Amino acid sequence: MTYRELLEELKKMSEEQLDMSVIYHDTVDDEYYQADIMAADEETSEGHLGAPEGVPHPVIVHCEYIQ
């Protein structure tokens, strides 16, 4: 999924859904985590994620396990 595709999916959500916390579901371990979006550093963006030079690649990360 691209961030453009993600944006289109977000546009389909209700106001109530848009106010909810972002949650990441680990389907392998069937666990849920709160998520955040961060920019990868330059080396990671360009070298590992294929971003153009000078464009920080956004990365969704899980922050906290939800029990």
pLDDT score, position 64: 82
pLDDT per residue as tens digits for the range 11-25: 999 999 999 999 999
* Encoded amino acid at 61, one letter: V
How far is Cα 32 from Cα 63, in angstroms, rounded to an integer? 10
Q: In the sheet where 58-66 sits, what is the strand order?
A: 23-26, 31-39, 58-66
For residue 36, pLDDT over 80 is answered with: yes
Taking residues 34-56, what's their average pLDDT? Answer: 93
The rounded distance, in Å, linking the Cα atoms of 22 and 38 is 13
**Where exactly are the structural domains of the chain?**
21-66
Q: Spell out the SS3 assignment of 7-31.
A: HHHHHCCCHHHHCCCCEEEECCCCE
- The mean pLDDT value for 26-52 works out to 93
In this structure, what DSSP letter does residue 51 have? Answer: P
